[in-house]
Homo-oligomer: A and B are copies of this chain.
Amino acid sequence: MTELEKGPQGLRRGRGARERIISASQQLFRDQGINRTGMDQLCAVAQVSKRTAYQHFTNKDELVAEYLRRFDPGVTAGVFDRTDLTPRERLLAVFEPPRGKEGLTPLCPYIAASVELHDPEHPASQYARDYKSTIAARLADTAREAGAADPEQLGEQLALLLDGAAARTRVLNTESFPTAAAIAAVLIDNAIPTTARERVNTTVG
């Protein structure tokens, strides 16, 4: 433990290089964007030598893809597993903004990557596509559970609302998730036949 923190010159932080790189990319890509974050700065923040970084990731592109893959293992996704909520409540809870500590909801990194990279063939863009499809599918599953007449349609609609809120929050610099939530409430109530809704209400409340 003598020299765990610092070596004779500079950083010297030891074995966890890869994790530090990824966690630095989480911070920097989100705060500054991908294109505006150079590998030099990223390595400095990660306290990792550039050489090491390029032994873990052959490209910056590959790092970007891994950054997306390792993003958020359970913020939005976690809502779907909450058993304390009815399916309908779960669908609405998705629109509670992730709230980055304070201030506005940061732009969904999948949208940001797609726009910044500007290449649908980029591995990160492909992953973004997959992720968005997955979210829509999970929304559809929950919609089905809630008794929606056309669950796939409702899932796609709610996904669109999420993306709209994210994009609009970024452009306007104003929180837009409440607006999306209001729309979601309307859509959900419109999609669930009264019979099913009443059944749930009597079951839960």
Query: Number of copies of this chain in the oligomer?
Result: 2
Majority secondary structure, A binding face:
helix
CB-defined contacts of A118 to chain B, threshold 8 Å: 32-33, 36
CA distance A111 to B173 in the complex (A): 12
B-facing residues in A96-131 (Cβ within 8 Å): 107, 110-112, 114-116, 118, 120, 125, 128-129
B-facing residues in A147-163 (Cβ within 8 Å): 153, 156-157, 159-163
CB-defined contacts of A168 to chain B, threshold 8 Å: 132, 159-160, 163-164
Query: Which of these binds chain B: A83-91, A181-189, A195-203?
Result: A181-189
Measured CB to CB, the closest approach of chain B to A111, in angstroms, equals 5
- A173 x B36 contact (CB < 8 A): no
Is A94 located at the chain interface by the 8 A CB criterion? no
* Total contacting residues, chain A, CB less than 8 A: 43
Q: Which residue on B lies nearest to A129, using beta carbons? A: B172
CA distance A171 to B173 in the complex (A): 21
- B35 x A171 contact (CB < 8 A): no
Question: Which residue of B35, B110, B167, B173 is within 8 Å of A164 (Cβ)?
Answer: B167
CB-defined contacts of A161 to chain B, threshold 8 Å: 160-161, 164, 183
